[in-house]
Amino acid sequence: MSLNFTTIEGKSRGYNTLLAILIVLSVAGFVSFMVSYIEGHQLLGSNNLIPWGMPIVVAIYLIGLSAGSLILSSLTYVFGKEEYRPISRVAVFLAIVLIFGAMVGIGLDLGRPEKTWRLFMFFMLNNMRSMFAINTILYGGYFVIGLVYLGSIFAGRSKMTKMMGMIAIGWAALVHMGTGAIFGFVAARPIFYSPLKPFEFLAAAMVSGLALLMIAIVVVFKYTKREYDQKIIFSLSRLLFALIVGLVVIVLIDKLTHVYPPDREATIWLFTGPYAWVFWGLQVGCAYLVPLVLLTHPRYSKSLKGVLAAAILVVIGIFGERFALVIPGTAYPLPFYPGKIEGIWGATGTFPITFVETLMSLGIFTLMGLFFILGLKYMELLPVTETKEENPRPA
């Protein structure tokens, strides 16, 4: 099956409006970053008890989406599933854009981002025992591998593409497991500390990446008035169901080990405290239960709208899962000494949502959106439509 790919024209009014909105929001995000860089992190919500804030939530969420998206692109190029070929280029490109957004997110949360170069002085200036330093290799390599992968697809070298695809799958899995290890190996925070965290992150990455890819396919193909086989979506939805079940099993085991002693207070506080709505509502409800119901429902699982709704809920819900890990994971006070610790040292942390931080986080998303629609315009990512009436307007 030969399939030709093309660019979108990108001259319609809708495209230009979208471009303008994304540019404005990205600039606003950059300005708010500069303000926080000059004024200090007092403008953000983090504090000494909750050191990591919204940019880290966004970053690990995007790494997950990226790794999931890249792994799924390999269905065509490595496993030879031809029915996914129309979407495979978009998937690789999306993965590169998302990992870029994740790197921006990590940069935004650094106190002195101008010193990031130190992280890349491997074995000289950085500490290779740190999970964070190891992840620098993983993220950097992932970015390069993604670019080479996309390049070999464009060059039409199928053998090299297959090889790069295989490397990319393994590397993407490593990237996300490494990200999980950043959290999972910290013994001081009971909610983080678990050998299952790398696997939980990997499963969440696959789930959210697949859901995002499904949304991207439907939206892009619909707004650019392209034909595609809806069977793709329904076969992906079965995969999504299986992956969610896997994720639920891992999360269940992880949380159960945490509610058995020792150090169960923090996890019980997560279940019942002020962040319970994030955990039960977004993580459990939005990411697991409702999509599982939708994907098994006799009617909704057969309709495009039902499947799409499940995918959207998963993408929102996995963001909640990230939030429920990073923010409440550190918000519970450390048990320095047996007994109730009085005063501020025993108080749980609060994380105010601030204007600057929200704008910064939004800016990451709009910057990625900008790159994505520019990529659609200047790179041959979408398959050629059979009906030649062109009125392109991507999302």
Which residue ranges make up the site for other proteins (CB under 8 A)?
Answer: 37, 39-42, 46-49, 51-52, 109-113, 115-116, 118-119, 125-127, 129-133, 136, 182, 186-189, 192, 262, 330, 333-346, 349
Q: How far is the CB of 195 from other proteins (least distance, A)?
A: 16
Q: How far is the CB of 308 from other proteins (least distance, A)?
A: 37
With CA atoms as reference, report the closest residue to 295 among 388, 233, 250, 345.
Answer: 233
Measured from the CB atom, the residue of 73 and 135 that comes closer to other proteins is: 135
Evaluate the omega torsion of the peptide bond into residue 338 and state whether it is cis, within 30 degrees of 0. no
Q: How far is the CB of 283 from other proteins (least distance, A)?
A: 20
| Whole-number Å distance between alpha carbons of 316 and 196 | 23
Residue that is written with structure tokens 């697809």 in the block? 153
Cα separation values, 258 from 21, 52, 177, 179, 255, Å = 44, 21, 20, 20, 5
**From residue 204, how far is each of 159, 212, 260, 315, 319 by CA, in Å?**
30, 12, 23, 10, 10
Q: How far is the CB of 185 from other proteins (least distance, A)?
A: 8
Minimal distance, residue 46 CB to other proteins, in Å: 8
Quick one: 41 or 81, whose CB is closer to other proteins? 41
Question: For residue 4, which of 147, 154, 146 has the smallest C-alpha distance?
Answer: 154
Separation between Cα atoms, residue 213 and residue 240, nearest integer Å: 11
